[in-house]
Amino acid sequence: MKWVYIVSITALVILMFIFQWPKIKTVEKNEKIAFITLTVLGWAIAIFYVIFPSMPSPAKIVDFTLMQISNIFRTLW
């Protein structure tokens, strides 16, 4: 079942690429690099989440970090 998700995510990313790439002007090199990096990052994270569904989400990581910081403050109090 997992490969269905992987194939559809890849198809979505390719569609996004086809839609957006011609619209970036050829002189804007930084834009192209940023676009490719973000797209690849999003694709990789999506694949990781498909393969390891129990990987923590950013919301939980932020919660955990903030809780740690507040605990430090509480012990200092």
Partner 1 sequence: MIEKGKISALQMGLLMYHAILATGILFIPATVFNVAKQDIWISPILASPLGFLSVYIAYKLNKYYPKDTIMQYSKHILGTFWGKMLGLLLLLLLITSLSVMFWQYGEYVVSEFLPHTPKSVIIGMMVILCAFAVHGGLEVLGRLAGMVFPVFFLLFLVIIILVLPDVEVKRMLPVMENGLMPSLKGAWVLCTWFAQFGIIYFFLPFLTDREKGLKFGMLSVLVVTLTLVVTNIIVIWLFGNVTENFNAPFMSASRYISLAEFLSHLESIVMAIWIAGTFIKLCVFYYVVVIGTAEWLNLSDYRSLVLPMGFLIGVFAMQAFLNSAEAAEHFRIVSHEIMDTLVYGLLIPIFLFLGAYIRKTIFKHKVRRTN
Burial degree of 46 (CB within 10 A; 0-12, 13-18, 19+): middle
Binding partner 1 (rule: CB under 8 A), the pick from 1, 3, 4, 23 is 23
Contact 26, 52 (CB under 8 A): no
CA distances from 14 to 7, 20, 33, 52 (A): 10, 10, 16, 23
- Which residues, in sequence order, are CB contacts of 6 under 8 Å at separation 6+? 47, 50
Told to check if 13 binds partner 1 by CB under 8 A, we report yes
Binding partner 1 (rule: CB under 8 A), the pick from 42, 72, 75, 76 is 42
CB of 18 to partner 1, least distance (A): 11
Number of residues that bind partner 1 (CB under 8 A): 35
Binding site for partner 1 (CB under 8 A): 12-13, 16, 19-20, 23-24, 28, 30-32, 34-35, 38-39, 41-43, 45-46, 49, 53-55, 57-63, 66-67, 69-70
